[in-house]
Amino acid sequence: MSYAIAGIKFSAVKPLRFGSSGDRRNSANLSFMLRNESLSIVAATGKVLVPGVPLDDSSSAAESVGDQEPTSSDQQVLKEAGDLPAGDKAKADYAESSISSKLMSSGGVKEGDKHPDKVKNAGEMVEKKQRFIPPPGSGQRIYEIDPFLKDHRAHLDYRYSQYKNMRDLIDKYEGGLDAFSRGYEKFGFIRSATGITYREWAPGAKSASLIGDFNNWNPNADVMTKNEFGVWEIFLPNNADGSSPIPHGSRVKIRMDTPSGIKDSIPAWIKFSVQAPGEIPYNGIYYDPPEEECYVFQHTQPKAPKSLRIYESHVGMSSTEPKINMYTSFRDDMLPRIKRLGYNAVQIMAIQEHSYYASFGYHVTNFFAPSSRFGTPDELKSLIDKAHELGLLVLMDIVHSHASNNVLDGLNQFDGTDTHYFHSGSRGYHWMWDSRLFNYGSWEVLRFLLSNARWWLDEYKFDGFRFDGVTSMMYTHHGLQTVFTGNYNEYFGFATDVDAVVYLMLVNDLIHGLFPEAVTIGEDVSGMPTFGIPVQDGGVGFNYRLHMAVADKWIEILKLQDEHWKMGDIVHTLTNRRWSEKCIAYAESHDQALVGDKTIAFWLMDKDMYDFMALDRPSTPRIDRGIALHKMIRLITIGLGGEGYLNFMGNEFGHPEWIDFPRGDQQLPNGSVIPGNNNSYDKCRRRFDLGDADYLRYHGMQEFDQAMQHLEEKYNFMTSDHQYISRKDEGDKVIVFERGDLVFVFNFHWSNSYFDYRVGCFQPGKYKMVLNSDDKLFGGFSRVDPNAEYFTNDGMYDDRPCSFMVYAPSRTAVVYALAED
């Protein structure tokens, strides 16, 4: 007989049989391996799937063979599916186009056959805490938080209904987000006690075989079988001596006959890939080291701090030497530095494998593989474990907004079609980034991306993500040639990609449910309302939004003469964020450090940085101005800009060189040539030695940044509920504000210093100076007495109940706190 769910028939599976010799080439005739306890709907069309729109009936039946009766648990699933009311017909139709991993044998948990409910910690197996993804809420609280959203209720309620429909479908046909997000236990290489199962979703391929070192790259040796739903599969039994049929470290690929011709591809779910010396293409690597060689985590993950101070970094360029740095060197050299500087989180770029080094890690080719340029997967784990020992969170810069258009190494045209993981035509291509755009309405794309996010958290113990390019995801125009003014019509209309927003809601649901301490940060320049509100309340679910407007504003201001700096404009930009939605502020982005752009330090000091940064030489007015404003810009950004702060490595001391990745000459189609840099790594490194050298002015800038981080660590002013801006004086060029228990006084005037300058405050008492940008240690002129005491006077001033008098030197920022004695 056959199994039937919601009108779909599935053949009963014939038992797998091996020849007497155990020859694995006779063992690849299995389409499905049913598990009674997890019967579900399987599928496949290459169609763009839209919830609520019925598909045609062409894929709704399968031939019936066999005479096996379903078990009681199967009958319950069948009953639930059969009881779908007429209104749920669309859901059933939509489910027909999913490929359920539950109809495939687990074969094992993952490479290495580790138990999913346990984690190695401190050398022992310890049970994980129970993790739970809560059901969807009403999604209505967003209207209480922001009543203006009611004018767009139709769009927002539709968005939430699509999210709930997707949750319902995943719950009904995949067993929930928890099971759905463990695709890496079903696809790719799955090691079990008896052998290796390899599965790949490639519906466009006409034939497929697994090739590699293990079978001398013979395409006829291990031919795969394809089920009617586009999943190719092969089982390789252990060798006669019980050893793995594919040795650890072997190169592997899948050869497919596709509509575009014969192609060898790296498996989509590969866990490691390597470019051999002298070769252009990468090779997938079967990575399954012996248990005694696997890294064992020794340290528990720290809890997320109340306020995040993030040090953004890139492993490859983290050396002072012109070379590609390694995970182990970053672990031993960079992590202690980051801790000493006062940051409590490290955000690492370019972790996912990317064939093109100069893409900064944003043109991902192998989503489940850590970049092999920097070392092995186990060395990355040791880096993360060391960070946890130091109390540092480790955030990963994850790229789910687009993928490399590399056909040779990546997902592009993986099965020879344009529509496999991506939208077709122009919608599937980002013309500015020259990359492919995911189809977030595809069931298997959702499985792939959700599983990818979970993989990095589960396997590597990352503490969260910075999601790249979220603005590009949320709008069909990708934010290109678009100005966001704050008008709500810009966010909730036909330009919104609801499928992509629903994916972001799902991935936040998954992360915050299964990893409650994990942090998610979204790179969104648009200011999408509800972005930082929990999914259950109707939001997108991120913990933080990157406050990208701040860095853009500083570039705009730095192009002006000092007298044209507007204090109100600075304050407005820093504080212009949505209530109850937290932001990560930063003064400058990593993009500004790239060749062709300018960091804040270079905007301020330009070529003088090359000749006048030694303390034994006279300074210049440009250097004095640059150092003073560099410190003030960073302090006011962390002081007013958000609930978290981010710095790209090297910018803390005003790194003088841009980043120029190694590159050769590039010949354009018109015959012209863009000269390269002779593939040099000289400018693809960070000169931390400059910040450490106490005979250079860079050292004072680094010391100030360190003091600023430790000040926030002590007072936690970024997350305080108390914030009041008492003065924005355009004539004096002075800004005064309170944040937490501190009073910040900024004098941006280029020449005027103010004696007995009265500043308002909320709390009466004796104040002392706790940070002074003019301190000699920080490259200043020590014009403020560090031992002075400041006593408040009662009486309203600048709408504050108290005030005290200070000396405010030109181009200086001073922070005051109530004396503790």
Q: Give the three-class secondary structure for 2.
A: strand
Q: For residue 723, what are the β-bridge partners?
A: 739
Distance of alpha carbon 203 from alpha carbon 493, whole angstroms: 33
Residue 135 CB neighbour total at 10 angstroms: 12
Q: Based on the residue annotation, tell me whether 185 is a catalytic residue of this protein.
A: no
SS (H, E, C) 594-640: ECCCCCHHHHHHHHHHHCCCECCCCCCHHHHHHHHHHHHHHHHHHHH
Q: Is 456 exposed, middle or buried (0-12, 13-18, 19+ CB in 10 A)?
A: buried
Distance of alpha carbon 183 from alpha carbon 154, whole angstroms: 34
- φ, ψ at 166 (rounded to 5°): -65, -40
Q: For residue 264, what are the β-bridge partners?
A: 255
Q: Which of 200, 468, 499, 738 is catalytic?
A: 468
CB 400 within 8 A of CB 452: yes
Q: Based on the residue annotation, tell me whether 389 is a catalytic residue of this protein.
A: no
Q: Decide the pairing of beta strands 812-818 and 754-761.
A: unpaired
CB 465 within 8 A of CB 521: yes
Distance of alpha carbon 758 from alpha carbon 367, whole angstroms: 57
Q: Is 457 exposed, middle or buried (0-12, 13-18, 19+ CB in 10 A)?
A: buried
Instruction: Please compute Rg for the chain using Cα positions.
Output: 29
Helix (H) or strand (E) holding 411: none
Distance of alpha carbon 216 from alpha carbon 239, whole angstroms: 16
Distance of alpha carbon 804 from alpha carbon 726, whole angstroms: 13
Distance of alpha carbon 91 from alpha carbon 308, whole angstroms: 41
Distance of alpha carbon 81 from alpha carbon 74, whole angstroms: 11
Q: For residue 743, what are the β-bridge partners?
A: 738, 816
Q: Which residue has the tokens 């089982």?
A: 235
Q: Which of 393, 212, 381, 209 is nearest to 286 (CA)?
A: 212
Distance of alpha carbon 755 from alpha carbon 288, whole angstroms: 69
* Cα dihedral value 774, 776, 781, 784, nearest 10: 60
The string of DSSP letters for 561-588 reads: -GGG--HHHHHHHHH-S-TT--EEE-SS
* Start-to-end C-alpha separation, the chain: 84
Q: Which residue has the tokens 């019967």?
A: 39
Q: Decide the pairing of beta strands 789-791 and 345-349.
A: unpaired
User: Which two tokens mark 537?
Assistant: 């309340």
Burial of 725-756, coded b for 16+ CB within 10 Å and e otherwise, reads: bbbbbeebbbbbbbbbebbbbbbbbbeeebee
* Cα dihedral value 709, 713, 714, 716, nearest 10: 110
CA-based angle 148:151:156, to the nearest 5? 95
Q: Which of 96, 353, 523, 588 is catalytic?
A: 523
User: Which two tokens mark 438?
Assistant: 């995911």
Q: Decide the pairing of beta strands 734-739 and 789-791.
A: unpaired
Q: Decide the pairing of beta strands 464-467 and 812-818.
A: unpaired
The string of DSSP letters for 101-133 reads: GGGS---SSSTT---TTEEEETTEEEEPPP---
Q: Which of 396, 412, 194, 375 is nearest to 295 (CA)?
A: 375
Q: Decide the pairing of beta strands 308-314 and 644-648.
A: parallel
Q: Identity (one letter) of the amino acid at 47?
A: K
Query: Which residues are marked as active site?
Result: 468, 523
